[in-house]
Structure 1
Amino acid sequence: MFAIMGATGQTGGMALAAILEAGRQARAIVRDPERARSVVGEGATLAKADLDDIDALTAALTGVEAAYVLNPVSVVADDVFAAAARTGAAIAEAIRRAGVPHVVALSSSGAHHAEGTGIVRSLHRFEAVLRGAAPSLTFIRATEFMENWGGMLGVAAEHGVLPSMRQPLDRREETVSARDVGRQVAQELLRPHAGERIVNLKGPAEYAPEDAARALSELLGKPVTAVATPRAEWEDGLIAAGLGASYARELAALYDAMNAGRAAFEPVGETRRGSVTLKEALAGLLAGSPG
Structure 2
Amino acid sequence: MSTILVTGATGNVGRHVVSQLAGAGLEVRALVRDPGRARLPEHVEVVRGDLSAPETLEPALKGVESVFLLWPHFTADGAAEVVTAIAGHARRVVYLSANVADEPVTHYHEVERLIRHSGLGWTFLRPGGFAANTLGWAGQIRQGVVRWPYGQASRPLIHERDIAAVATHVLTSAGHSGATYVLTGPERLTQVEQVRVIGAATGREVRWEEQPPEEAREQLMAAWGNAAFVESALKAWASFVTAPEQVTDTVERLLGRPALTFGQWAEDHVADFS
Asked if these proteins are the same fold (TM beyond 0.5), I'd say yes
Equivalent positions of 1:165-244 (< 5 A) are: 165=149, 167=150, 169-193=151-175, 195-240=177-222, 242-244=223-225
Equivalent positions of 1:97-112 (< 5 A) are: 97-98=88-89, 100-111=90-101
Alpha-carbon deviation of 1:249? 4.5
5+ residue gaps, structure 2, are: 253-257
**TM score, norm. by length of structure 2:** 0.87
User: Within 2, Cα distance between the matches of 1:218 and 1:112?
Assistant: 34
User: Within 1, Cα distance between the matches of 2:191 and 2:177?
Assistant: 38
Match in the other structure for 1:93? 84
User: Within 2, Cα distance between the matches of 1:41 and 1:195?
Assistant: 29
Match in the other structure for 1:144? 129
Quick check: 178-187 or 188-197, which moved more? Answer: 188-197
Distance 1:222 1:195, change over 3 A: closer
Alpha-carbon deviation of 1:108? 0.7
Alpha-carbon deviation of 1:31? 1.1
Match in the other structure for 1:278? 262
Is 1:251 matched up with 2:230?
Answer: yes
Alpha-carbon deviation of 1:194? 7.3
Q: Deviations over 1:206-231 (max 9, x none)?
A: 11112212212212323212232211
Determine if contact 2:6/2:31 at 8 Å carries over to the other structure: yes
**Is the partner of 1:42 in helix, strand or coil?**
coil
Q: Which has the higher contact order (CA 8 A, sep 6+)?
A: 1
Task: Among all aligned residue pairs of Structure 1 and Structure 2, give the percentage whose two residues are the same amino acid.
Answer: 25
Correspondence for 2:111 among 126, 138, 149: 126
User: Within 1, Cα distance between the matches of 2:195 and 2:263?
Assistant: 10
User: Within 2, Cα distance between the matches of 1:210 and 1:263?
Assistant: 14
Q: Deviations over 1:18-51 (max 9, x none)?
A: 1011111100011111222xx2131210111110
Determine if contact 1:49/1:57 at 8 Å carries over to the other structure: yes
User: Within 2, Cα distance between the matches of 1:185 and 1:22?
Assistant: 13
5+ residue gaps, structure 1, are: 74-79, 116-120
Distance 1:220 1:195, change over 3 A: closer
**TM score, norm. by length of structure 1:** 0.82
**Is the partner of 1:51 in helix, strand or coil?**
coil
Q: Tell me how many residue pairs correspond in the alignment.
A: 264
